[in-house]
Amino acid sequence: MNGDGPDKIPASIENTERLIREIREAFTSSEENQKKITKHTSGDWLIREDERQEKVFIILEGEVALYKTTDNGERLQVDSLSSGDMMGLLSYFARNRNFVGGRCQTEVTAVRLTWEEFDHYNYTDPIGGALLMLIRDNMAQRYRRMVGVQLKLATLNTTLAKERNELRDTIIELEQTRNRLVNQERLAILGQLIAGLAHEINNPAAAMLRSTDYLRESLAHLFGILKEKDLTVVRETGPAFWEDGLHAGNHPLREDIEKKRAEWEKIFPGLPRSLYRRLSFLPETTSNRLKENTLIQKTFRKAKSMGTKANFLEEVILPFETAHHVRTVSIAGDRIRKLIAGLKNYSRPGQVKNSSVDLRQGIEDTLMILSNRLKEVFVHLDSPEKLEAPGNAGELNQVWTNIMVNACDSMEDHGRLDIKLIKTEEDQVKITFEDTGPGLPQGILDKLFKPNFTTKNQSRSFGLGLGLSIAKDIIEKHNGQIYAENRESGGARFVIFLPLR
């Protein structure tokens, strides 16, 4: 038979069945040979892997599974044997331990021969001829199965390669989508903060304009009196008052101004109320110069009219006020510079992950961006002067923003925010954000970092509702960890660990 017809039995199978019938008849023909036929129940091990049993089995009925143990201890089925298959041939020919183990899947009837008996029967007619032909058929069938396995592996490798390429493209697409979400979240926050940023820039800009207008008049006045008048007092005290103005701090408190005005009225009586107010703004160092300078006191007393006295004192403090407005212009310009730099650093595209990021600077930039929202929030930043870690500055700034915005929302823009950065013994940096809000509601800690989960109402929500989910994704991308908890004293605490290497 050649197996061409659909209902015909393939020649190899028919030949094997004939050989099995011959072998069965040979081993049941005598009582001695019949002892070689053994019966086994399902689950019995006929041979065990890596043992030297020196036996060959000829399966007459039933099924046997062959197993091989992997390097990690996992047992895998590598083949299945049935009627006409021989087990133990590899060990027999190699004179070695069993390469695989064989376990009965059903009840099995088999001829069990030792290697010596197998050698004997191979050279005994008629059994020997049938055994040799059965060995040949077994080898041929196993070779066909091996080729079939190779073909399946080749097909599987082709399929896996295709799926790998598709997975790679999907990962790239997901990464691009993730980056778009991060940028959209950042721009959404900037969009809601833009009014506050405009206000923060407008304030120092307005101060610069006011001070510039004042400087135009005061400098002209100052140069005029120095040129036209013989004011020995102004020439003598002017440089010191000018330096005081360049380094003067903030204006005193309202109650301090009222107290100082009463003192000035006693020292220089009869002056206009507006001049007393100007004198009250003088810092303590400058006030002492004015009070203790004998030339000023003498000149003031010699002045014949209150108008002359007032003009004299105005000219004395003019260098201080002029310098103070120069300082105001400098501070306002520096404020605008920092706001623009913070905005630029915050909104710039992400850098490569392995670049060095100054964590403190990133948090300071974020505080600058949020300065309008933090007006009524006391912020304390405890950090080494410089603490660098590998990462993406733009993405990490997004994390700081989300946490700070959440803190502002929970505290309704009033309260205290403590930020601390410390280097741990494990060569990590631990970053904590603690607020004095009401804390996190019970039962949401396990949901806090899931996409689209929020406890905010619509009017106070920022971004796309993905803030903390994106923050967690960014931190994990940087091989870090983030979690949230409630403080014992009240308020929420966010903790982040980032590796410094």
Q: What average pLDDT does the chain have?
A: 82
Q: What is the pLDDT of residue 465?
A: 47
On whether the 11-124 domain is CATH 2.60.120.10, my answer is yes
Residue 494 confidence class, pLDDT cut points 50, 70, 90: very high
pLDDT tens-digit profile of 390-419?
A: 888 888 888 898 899 889 988 988 899 999
pLDDT tens-digit profile of 304-326?
A: 888 888 888 888 888 888 888 88
Residue 487 three-state SS: coil
Distance between CA atoms of 291 and 279, rounded to whole angstroms? 11
Lowest-confidence region among 82-91, 306-315, 457-466: 457-466
Pairing of strands 377-382, 415-423: parallel
Lowest-confidence region among 247-251, 404-408, 452-456: 452-456
Lowest-confidence region among 136-140, 342-346, 390-394: 342-346
Q: What is the pLDDT of residue 429?
A: 93
Residue 499 preceded by cis peptide, ω within 30: no
Residue 342 three-state SS: helix
Residue 420 confidence class, pLDDT cut points 50, 70, 90: very high
pLDDT tens-digit profile of 358-396?
A: 899 889 888 887 887 888 899 999 988 788 888 888 888
Amino acid at 146: M
What superfamily would CATH give domain 354-499?
Histidine kinase-like ATPase, C-terminal domain (3.30.565.10)
pLDDT tens-digit profile of 154-179?
A: 898 999 999 999 998 888 888 888 77
Evaluate if residue 472 carries a pLDDT over 50.
Answer: yes
Compute the CA torsion angle 187, 193, 194, 198 (nearest 10 deg): -150
Q: What is the pLDDT of residue 8?
A: 43
Two tokens at 459? 């009017």
Evaluate if residue 151 carries a pLDDT over 50.
Answer: yes
Residue with tokens 């003009």: 311
**Contact predicate 261/285, CB 8 Å:** no
Q: What is the pLDDT of residue 190?
A: 67
Query: 354-499: same fold as 11-124?
Result: no
Average pLDDT rounded to a whole number, residues 197-221: 77
Size of the chain, expressed as the number of residues it contains: 501
Q: What is the pLDDT of residue 1?
A: 38
Residue 114 confidence class, pLDDT cut points 50, 70, 90: very high
Residue 44 confidence class, pLDDT cut points 50, 70, 90: very high
Phi/psi at 68 (nearest 5 deg)? -135, 135
What phi-psi label fits residue 479: left (phi over 0), alpha (psi between -120 and 50 degrees) or beta? left
Evaluate if residue 122 carries a pLDDT over 90.
Answer: no
**Contact predicate 398/185, CB 8 Å:** yes
Concatenated DSSP letters of 477-490: HTT-EEEEEE-TTS
**CA distances from residue 360 to 137, 363, 383, 397 in whole angstroms, order as listed:** 77, 5, 7, 10
pLDDT > 70 in the chain, percent: 85
Evaluate if residue 99 carries a pLDDT over 50.
Answer: yes
Concatenated DSSP letters of 203-250: HHHHHHHHHHHHHHHHHHHHHHHHHHS--HHHHHHHHHHHHHHHH--S
Of the candidates 362, 461, 374, 371, which has an alpha carbon nearest to the alpha carbon of residue 416? Answer: 374
CB neighbours (10 Å) of residue 160?
Answer: 12
pLDDT tens-digit profile of 271-302?
A: 888 888 888 888 888 888 888 888 888 888 88
Phi/psi at 379 (nearest 5 deg)? -110, 125
Evaluate if residue 229 carries a pLDDT over 70.
Answer: no
Average pLDDT rounded to a whole number, residues 5-13: 48
Contacts of 12 (CB under 8 A, 6+ apart): 137, 140, 141
**CA distances from residue 241 to 93, 234, 237, 247 in whole angstroms, order as listed:** 109, 9, 6, 10
Average pLDDT rounded to a whole number, residues 424-446: 87
Residue with tokens 């004299």: 312
Residue with tokens 């946490």: 403
Q: What value does the CA radius of gyration of the chain take, rounded to a whole number of Å?
A: 46
Distance between CA atoms of 401 and 192, rounded to whole angstroms? 13
**Contact predicate 393/362, CB 8 Å:** yes
Evaluate if residue 438 carries a pLDDT over 80.
Answer: yes
Compute the CA torsion angle 186, 188, 191, 194 (nearest 10 deg): -40
Two tokens at 102? 């064989």
Residue 443: Cβ-neighbour burial (10 angstroms; 0-12, 13-18, 19+): exposed
Contacts of 295 (CB under 8 A, 6+ apart): 232, 233, 236, 237
Residue 232 confidence class, pLDDT cut points 50, 70, 90: low
Lowest-confidence region among 191-200, 281-290, 293-302, 491-500: 191-200
Contacts of 116 (CB under 8 A, 6+ apart): none
Q: What is the pLDDT of residue 501?
A: 75
Pairing of strands 37-40, 86-87: unpaired
Average pLDDT rounded to a whole number, residues 185-194: 68
Distance between CA atoms of 250 and 354, rounded to whole angstroms? 42
Evaluate if residue 211 carries a pLDDT over 70.
Answer: yes
Q: What is the pLDDT of residue 296?
A: 82
Two tokens at 423? 């280097």
Q: What is the pLDDT of residue 42?
A: 94
Distance between CA atoms of 282 and 288, rounded to whole angstroms? 9
**CA distances from residue 328 to 225, 259, 268, 323, 335 in whole angstroms, order as listed:** 24, 25, 28, 9, 10
Contacts of 267 (CB under 8 A, 6+ apart): 291
Question: Domain-by-domain residue ranges, the chain?
Answer: 11-124, 202-340, 354-499
Q: What is the pLDDT of residue 38?
A: 93
Phi/psi at 428 (nearest 5 deg)? -125, 165
Q: What is the pLDDT of residue 9?
A: 41
Evaluate if residue 104 carries a pLDDT over 90.
Answer: yes
Lowest-confidence region among 11-15, 132-136, 211-215, 273-277: 11-15
Average pLDDT rounded to a whole number, residues 447-459: 61
Two tokens at 388? 């660098």
